[in-house]
Structure 1
Amino acid sequence: MATVGDQLLNPESGWQRIDDANKNIIYNGNWISATGDPNTYAGTAHYFTLSGATTNSIEFYFYGTKLRIIDMYWSNRVNNVTVELDGVISSYNPNNSTNKYRVIVFERLNLQYGFHKVKLTTTSTSNNFSLDAIDIDSNGEITAPPLSKFLISSEDKHYSITNEYKDNAIPAMTSNTSPNGIVDASSFYTTFYPWKAFDRIIDPNGWVTNINVLTGWLSYEFDSPKTISAYSVQAGTTPVGRSPKNWTFEGWNGVSWIVLDNKSNQSAFAGSEYRLYTFDNKVAYKKYRINVTANQGAGDFLAIGDLGMYELDKYISSVDTSEVSFIKHGMDKGMVIDLEDEFIERRSVVKENSPLGLGKVFKQKIDTVKTPIKKASIT
């Protein structure tokens, strides 16, 4: 798998590339749209030349779990680009004498799947600030700014729903049966026992299949049924070619294994890289497993450094209709609400109340006696 500093002419498997000319990328200030350079992605790029401090910026919003900024490493680039991702600040430096196009200059992996805001600025006062392309999840999307938010109204009260995953439901295991639950696997090699994928220690391998066995399954049985709707896979530190590439995540119903999630052609893991996978599940199973049908290319073993499983809590919060509260707690367009879910109530309080003054309010009253509702999707 490519990393920061590598030239990447085209996106890797599991990624898609968004050109700098995408209409949902916002360029604030005076920018030049350059075309006709075959070295840049799609022959286009945006840039401007600094002559002192600037407030120019680039903003975009995306759905997904990962992000790469694709640009040049060149000696005439700025020496600082600040990245504000969901309010968290980091930076990268594209000023580099290697002079090469289509480089991964910034990368962020393992984001919670959902909506993310990105803003690029610079503190440099000279040279060129530029952007060539953006890589995101293959099933992700660069979107317009989130102008639409909504709250649920019921009996003159307003509510917001949020989803939060609990901590890993599996304890730090010290054997296949301690401290509780049962760990099992299709095979293992010498002392690389199945439980070592659940000990929460990232070592060179974790669980390893028997020698020359490149597929297999790894399971955990809880003491009582749990409704798992997310799992994590973490690679060992070396060699990463032993990590999974194709697999299913399954629950045991007492008779057969039920496929809950299916993954194929996953991009190669970096050493100790952590990835979270989410899926819809309403059924509580005692036993779950990952069933791997291909690794990342190693010819000796299949290995998983760490495997986690997670339950989901859905919180419903009572909020006021102040502008501050609406912006902070309003749910985004595209959210699906299943009214058969169990919610945990959590109250939000905004002390300084001011009326909602931005945007438009759309109200629709539904007679639920005539039209029963089990699930609502806001589009």
Structure 2
Amino acid sequence: MGASLEFTFVGTRLRLIAGTTPTQAKEIRVFIDGNLETYNPYNTTDIRQILVYEKTGLSNTLHTVKLDSVVAGNWGMDAIDIDSDGRLITTVGSQIPTPDEGWKRYDDNNASFKYVGSNWIHESNTSANNYNKTDSYTTDSVGGHSFKFKFYGSKIRVVQASFHREDFFPDDVKIIIDGVQETFSKKDPISSSIVANRQMLLYEKTGLDREIHTVEILSGSNGIYRIQNDAIDIDLDGRLFHPDEVTNIAELEVGKRIRCNYQASTSGTIGTFSGIGKESSSFIPTSGSIATPNRDFYFIAVEDWNGDFKLIADRNVQNLISWDALNSEGFINGVNVYSTLIPQLTSDIHAEGNAFASSVYSGEYLYSAWKVFDRDKKTGVYNSRWSTTGTSGYIGFNFTEGNVVNGYSLMTLSSGSSNWITAMPKDWTFEGSEDTTNGSDGTWIVLDTRTSQTNWISLNYNRYFFENSNKYKAYRLKFTSNNGDASYSGLFEMEMYDTSQISMQARLLTGGINATDKDNEWDKYIVNSTLNGTIIAGDNNVWNYSGGASWTSTTNTAGSANRTGRGASGNAGASGYNPTSYVAAATATGFRPFMKIENLSMNRSFINHEGSYKKLKKGSPKVNETLIITPSMTSNTTPSGVASASSIYNASYEAWRAFNGGATGTEDCWASSAGNPSGFLVYNFNNVTTLNAYAITSRDASDLTSAPKDWTLAGSNDGTNWSTIHTVTNSTGWSQKETRSFVLSRDFSFSNYRLIIHTNNGANYTTIGELKLVNKIFIPAIPSEWITISATLPSESTFINDGMDDLSVFNRKNEDFVQTMSANGSLGSGRLFKGSIDLKKYIEITNVSVK
């Protein structure tokens, strides 16, 4: 008596499984949404796994269940059954090792957390049961610490450890959301475990407005470990922000930071910057090998020079790159940097838009349109390009929202033969459209024209700039001839830029010619600056220098071939004056970019309407997209994640070939070893990734009996414990290169996904041409609305921070009107006229006041 069990679930039915024994209580109470029923688990013999209670016919909504007993005797629970498409809802006080459906998780080592106080310990412990084996905490009864962050969304969960010992954890940890303070406890009043309970849901807040919220979590007043951070969960489509983070260059000031993505596809070669102000990926690791990164980092503003900002990366964005390689690309003295507007694609469809082309060449590989936007610049990887048959065509991108584009770049592929150069466009127009649906229809405006473009060099960009201040939803390169190839044309990579607001130049910091030379940028900004009181000078939590030294532009006094590296060894001021051998290949020294951003002309506006200054808060269109979440693999470990299998037929049929974006040709597949028709195929994302559908394509060959017949799709976050996601039996009758798609009952979030083939259709080996892991996203449309900023003329800073930089909402277009005729007496014969009116010449009159 006195004990109870509570849980919450979504579904229409419930079963309780338990043992029935002579010591069981004879009446167990079941409250479902407050309605009482009972069951009796008493039995004269001991029998296990008995269905002791069942309830059906419930509404398919959220239900709360409580079990208890008020009579003498033991009672317990073995298992709970609910609908196959139902789900249990985690409640505060429960363990939550993975985020629930509709949530996503940020680990404690995410760079968006700001840790305040000097006694934080950031621990990675493979033997601990913290999320991703890491956590951050203080010890020795030290209070006065906190961690801060912002997030966009409507709900938040705090995941930490709890323990029953009175002296261990506090019972009054403070959490402040948008200035409103609450508390939660890390003490577990029930468990008697001798170790702490890990990954516990200790706090939850839902029903917040869907906007950016500020959060601070502060030390409790008692216990040895007074504050900890294991993980934070927010909305699946939400985003975490650092407290000092801005998303627009115009909002920068000293101490603020802005997010950026950096991708390098080839080790030892400079990559591409993109996604300024956006969350494109997880953060670049601060230690270990980052030779081919494709992740995010922060640029931190260190100086405001008459409106032009100097920014330094908060970490090395790439290592295993030589000083000479940086020098050859101009990064010692400075080079202009352009941030492409187009996201990295792994299929034609993306949440920010879609790629399109006049046609796609299908030979040994499928040369899809999206491949010119995949940022994969590896030498000799021919299938990472777009090609079309013939000498003319078009390639482009359709954004979900309009963008200003006034620059673009085209890149060709490296090859031993010259046909890649001859396939490059020669004469073209670059065009924009507001109304195309497929890249072919609609009205297209010519923005730039180029002729006789013959100066192509392998693996080099040719960049083109032109005047344009109008926003278009779609842009395309339409070419009428190439450089001589009669069979096909194509591109390796394409980028698009908006240069109207900022000019960016990147280089290395200066580092000092010897240990006593302090007149350099590394000492000035990283070692000694507090950034106007926003950080502690030399703080590794800000600059992440302990994971490896950073190249500087300085040649040191050890000799003309010796370059200065700074940082590493846990010391912001450490100087490593690297010998000549490091110039060609540096394994321990990395690339930390220094960026100068020049703010160009800025126009910001408000609308004065009915006595108030207002701005348009833009809504968003409905999103109903299918995203292929596995990247197009070129090996088992590149460009990201890890593909593996139980066995392979030979080296031509490795696991990654089932994740390379196509299934063209007999060897473009994974095949198990002969004599092993059962087995598995695995993809590890390295981070928790959500999917709700998948598709299997059979091999492009006649051995159809090698196609899978019975299989299970499973997920895991540790590669050891697997949960069943979906099961298929008797999948027969495959045709060559056939794709079968499967929509799951709900979202599933794991870092590892495994397709377990139990049997195939008769062969002594199994093949899969392509396995696509899919996330189908639906977000309802959000209408635009006018919001009031002020009743009086706003200040300059308000104009800069909140003003509208796009007045295209007032643009008028041609529209067709059909005048409806109504009966007014007898009508004779006549005609119905339809005309086009240029609305730019007219304003509607919606109200006339006559006095």
TM (norm. structure 1) is 0.45
Of structures 1 and 2, the larger Rg is shown by 2
Larger RCO (alpha carbons 8 Å, 6+ apart): 1
Q: Structure 2-normalised TM-score?
A: 0.21
